[in-house]
Structures are given as structure tokens and as C-alpha cells.
Amino acid sequence: MEMARILVVEDDIDINNLLKELLSGEGYQVQGSFSGTEAMLWLEKDQFDLVILDLMLPGMTGEEVLERIKDQNIDTTVIAVSAKDDSKSKIHMLRGGADDYITKPFDTDELLARVEVALRKNKKSSYQPKEIYEFKDLRLDGNNFTVTVKGKEIALTKREFLILKLLMSNPNKVFTKNNIFESVWEEEFVGEDNAVNVHISNIRQKLSKENKEETYIQTVWGIGFKMAVK
């Protein structure tokens, strides 16, 4: 699945790198740019689904970049970023063609949420929610609620599917029984329920039927479970 391409236009190296790392971690394809002129060079030669555009740029300002994007009919969504939080500045940018406006300093979770919403609104975007996970010869598609091993579909219950999806969403993380239970059952974990162990065992058996030579889920004794990366 092709993920969204995002151009980050920010002259502060630390913030630029932070945004690239944050967005790349969510599966987006990210290109950094440090000036308005450089941003236009990228936009004129490549297609981007979204531009995160800082307004205070050296040389060509963010406002000028936005104006050129609109003048040249460049098909992309723009989130303007500025330290100015007054309503006049926001209204000016939104009327000027920005699709959204966020002020510095921004909360990273809020930024990710705004990115997702902006991409969802852009019907021409190649973006789809990050619902496909792959691990070894295992593939989980959250959009179609399917799991395959070596291309063959495996029948999992809803809770088995959600547990596997949780583990595959972050293969290097160890999830405690508490994490898994509260995420999948959406109830408070009392510490004595054996349901997680039973479901993990069932998942392992079903995956093993298709590939007995491979280990997919690792037990981290005394802590919980994770994908068997090694």
C-alpha cells in the first residue's frame, strides 16, 4: 500500500528533523525542506499529498509559498504552522488557501491527528489509514479484517485479530497482559484473568498450522508478549 507523501517546510533543523522522524514513524513518506525556494523546487518536480508549511522562512516566506502553490494549481493539501496564534493570522492563511493552521509550540499528537484528518479530506490523496502490517511471512490487513501466512488466509476471532494487530503495530514493544486486555477487551485488567494466555495460545496454533518452522509471538517471561523479531 502506498502511503501519503509529505513535504515538511521548516528552517529550524531540530524541528524539521523532529517532524520527519515523527511522521516517518507513522509510515508516511517524508521529505524535508529548509526554505521556501527549496520547497517550490520539490513541489514543481514531485507530487506531495500534504505540505506542512512554516510561515517564518528565510527568503521566500510561507505566505509566498502558499500563494505560488495556488497560482500554479499544485494539487496538495497545506497545513500552515506559525507562532502567531491570533485569529487574524489564522483567518488570513485559511482564506489564502491553507487547509488547516496550527500554532507553535504544538502537541505532537494533535499534529498527527490534524495530518490524518487533512489527508482524509483530500479525496485525491493516495493516503489510506495505516491498517496493513507485515511481519516475516505474516500479513494483517485491518481494512479488510484478514490475516494471511504465506499468502493463505487464517481464520481468527475478533479478539484474536485485535491482539495480533496490537502486537504487530509495534513489533519491538513488549505488551503486558494488562496492555493487551485493556486494549482488546476495553475493561480494567484484574490480574487473574487467563483470557490473554488462552487467546495467544490459539493465535500461535492457527499460525503454526500454516508454517510450523516459524515463530511469530514471543513470550517475555514475567512481563508479557511481543513479536518474535529474532
Using the 8-state DSSP alphabet, how is residue 155 labeled? -
CA 161/CA 199 separation, integer angstroms: 10
Give the C-alpha separation, 45 to 35, whole Å: 16
What would you measure as the largest C-alpha separation in the chain, in angstroms? Answer: 63
Does residue 191 have a pLDDT over 60? yes
| Residue 174 burial (CB count, 10 A) | 15
- Set of cell numbers at residue 72: 500554479
pLDDT of residue 199: 95
Looking at the predicted structure, is the pLDDT value of residue 125 above 60?
Answer: no
pLDDT tens per residue across span 2-24:
578 899 999 999 999 999 999 98
Q: How confident is the model at residue 144 (pLDDT cuts 50, 70, 90)?
A: confident
User: Tell me, what's the pLDDT at 54?
Assistant: 92
Q: Within its chain, how far is the Cα of 99 from the centroid?
A: 19
The residue that leads in pLDDT, 97 or 154, is 154
How far is residue 197's CA from residue 201's CA, in Å, rounded to a whole number?
Answer: 6
pLDDT tens by residue, 60-115 = 888 899 999 888 888 889 999 988 777 777 787 888 788 888 888 888 888 888 89
Alpha-carbon gap, residue 113 to 54, rounded angstroms = 18
Each domain of the chain, given as residue ranges in start order, spans 5-121, 132-227
Q: Is 147 exposed, middle or buried (0-12, 13-18, 19+ CB in 10 A)?
A: buried
Query: One-letter amino acid identity for 84?
Result: K
**CA angle in degrees (0–180, nearest 5) for 42-98-21:** 55
Higher pLDDT, 56 or 190: 56
Is the per-residue pLDDT at 122 higher than 80?
no
pLDDT (0 to 100) of residue 193: 64
Spatial CA neighbour of 65 closest among 86, 88, 81: 81
Would you say domain 5-121 falls under CATH 3.40.50.2300?
A: yes
Q: Give the CA-trace dihedral at 50, 54, 58, 62, to 10 degrees.
A: 70
Place of cell 513470550: 219
Is residue 1 very low, low, confident or very high in pLDDT (cuts 50, 70, 90)? very low
CATH topology of domain 132-227: Arc Repressor Mutant, subunit A (1.10.10)
Beta-bridge partners for 178: none
